Amino acid sequence: MKICIDARSLRDTPTALGRYAATLVRHIALQDRDNDYVVVRRPSRHGPIAEQENFREIEISCDIAAPRNILTGARAINALRADVYHSLFHFLPAGVRAGKVVITLHDFIWVDRPDLADGRRLHRWVKGSLGRIGVKRAVAAADSIIAVSETTRRAAINDHAVPAAKITTIYHGVDPKWRLGFNGQDSALPTAFANRRFVFSLGNSLPYKNLPRLLRAFAALAEPDLLLVFAGRGEGNAQLLDLARQLGVADRVHFTGALSDTQIRACFTGALFFAFPSLIEGFGLPVLEAMACGAPVLTSNCSSLAEIAADHALLVDPTDVDSIAAGMRRFLAEPDLRQRLGQQGQQRAATFTWETSARQTLQVYGQFADSAGAPSD
């Protein structure tokens, strides 16, 4: 079969969506040397995702979720005449033609909660509009849907009328290097909080990440020597810093910006615990990566986070500042709990592998082997 994997969710700026795209493609390559693959990606300063005889890449500059791609992007995809077209993000170009079409469905944030998708009014409206039109149309048009969690799968079936037979759950994996360590020289903690007690949080600062409540909970702690460290893209860092000043904790809050994987691992292993109280997540890959490092995790008792973490993390109500603060206090007061959940979390993370993710994805493609041929209308 000729399989086209649309990996344009991979960008030079590290994101969980990009990590999913790149790592899945690499592991599919390790397991499949028979089918022919075309990987679609945006122009990048990095090299090919998979260097293998049956893999080739083409570059399309348009973002996979951009209106331009949704409206006019089908021409380039249709020209490939693929037996299977798999979009690794839940958008499809209108009129896309392939033997069979697969999408990976991460979540319904843009559809159900655009207010949490972006704090900027125009961006929020754009994402909400794209969600109502683009995501819903892609879900309806796909022949098969891969949900990244049971939470997302149930939402698709129960709230968005997706037939249960059409959608399957395939979890992300976690790279063993999070447990064993990366090769590199930049694994030391930044000097601003080296040799300090700190709580670590990672991700963008969009509303669904719930960082203002985490900051308010941190401010409620009677821990004057404790730091709160935020890492990742900082769309809302200026507002968070203003809030930290209002709460009187600005001198104990640090924004690192983007970090390398080795630096992130150093933060996971050096922190007292990892705090990730998102309001909504499709999967929550940072939780698994923190667990793989042996970091105790405080996360939400809802969405996919409770599903992925199970009883191997300290779960709190992300809508309640007092609940988040109570969980933080408990971790600070109970080192044995931190140690126990750190150990249990590492065992939990080991059950999620990219080898399994790739194998199950290949099984989805394999369902269409008998019907491979010219693209259907």
User: pLDDT at residue 11 above 90?
Assistant: no
Confidence of residue 375 (pLDDT cuts 50, 70, 90): low
The answer to pTM > 0.85 is yes
Place of tokens 């910006």: 257
The CATH number assigned to the domain with range 177-349 reads 3.40.50.2000
CA dist 135 and 162 (Å) reads: 12
Separation of first and last alpha carbons in the chain: 18
Check whether 9 has a pLDDT greater than 70.
Answer: yes
Q: What is the pLDDT of residues 180-222, one digit of tens each?
A: 888 755 577 888 888 899 999 998 889 999 999 999 999 999 8
Rounded-to-integer distance, Cα 334 and Cα 342, Å: 12
Q: How many C-beta atoms surround the C-beta of residue 212 within 10 A? A: 17
pLDDT of residue 85: 97
Quote the pLDDT of residue 47. 83
**CB distance 156 to 248 below 8 Å:** no
Give rounded-to-5 percent helix, strand, coil for the chain.
45, 15, 40
Quote the CA–CA distance of 196 and 225 in Å, as a whole number: 8
Cα–Cα nearest to 220, from 299, 326, 316: 326
Q: Check if 2-173+354-371 and 177-349 are the same fold.
A: yes
Q: CA neighbours within 13 Å on the CB side: how many for 357? A: 24
- Count of beta carbons in the 10 Å neighbourhood of residue 5: 27
- Which range among 24-38, 222-236, 348-362 shows the weakest confidence by mean pLDDT? 222-236
Alpha-carbon torsion angle 103, 365, 25, 295, nearest 10: 70
pLDDT for 358 equals 98
Mean pLDDT of all residues in 247-263: 92
pLDDT value, residue 338: 98
Contact yes or no for 303/289 (Cβ under 8 A): no
Q: How many percent of the chain have pLDDT more than 70? A: 97
pLDDT above 80 (res 235): no
CB 25 within 8 A of CB 39: yes
pLDDT interval class at 15 (50, 70, 90): confident
- Sheet of 273-276, strands arranged across: 253-255, 226-231, 197-202, 273-276, 297-300, 314-316
Q: What is the pLDDT of residue 317?
A: 98
Q: Does domain 2-173+354-371 have CATH number 3.40.50.2000?
A: yes
Q: For all residues of the chain together, what is the average pLDDT? A: 92
Dihedral in degrees, nearest 10, Cα atoms 59, 65, 69, 70: 150
The burial of 224, by beta-carbon neighbours within 10 Å (0-12 exposed, 13-18 middle, 19 or more buried), is given as exposed
* Residue extents of the structural domains in the chain: 2-173+354-371, 177-349
